[in-house]
Amino acid sequence: MSNRYAATGVDPASSAMRGYCPACGEGRLFRGFVALNENCSQCGQSFKFADSGDGPAVFVILLAGFLIIALMFWVESTYEPPIWLHLVVFLPLTLIVCLGMLRPLKGLLIGLQYKNKAEQGRLDQ
């Protein structure tokens, strides 16, 4: 942990991944499933810096896609179930895995933005 966080003892990435403020680790980061609060209710930290964009969705697609497709191939090669069984099992499983990973990954990316003081790219002129 760097000196910046030694005073509070909060790791911004892990606290944001759990849905808490990356600055103090106590206030709520999210007001909805993935909608951010304006600022922290505990320390007043503004979350205007947070712009995760499509990053969390890309990571979810890549990770969940790899896991689900690997599991589907294994089930198909081992048991050879009918296609309807694949649909009944793997469509809800895909939805559960994707939604389960989206919020923590968004929090992680926001926590890393805070930790690394990431800003919008600018051209020097």
What is the tens place of the pLDDT at every residue in 80-93? 999 999 999 999 99
d(CA 16, CA 108): 6
What is the tens place of the pLDDT at every residue in 46-105? 999 888 889 999 999 999 999 999 999 999 999 999 999 999 999 999 999 999 999 999
**pLDDT of 5 strictly over 80:** no
Q: Is 18 exposed, middle or buried (0-12, 13-18, 19+ CB in 10 A)?
A: middle
Three-state DSSP state, 95: helix
Place of tokens 């005073």: 7
Domain boundaries, given as residue ranges, for the chain: 3-115
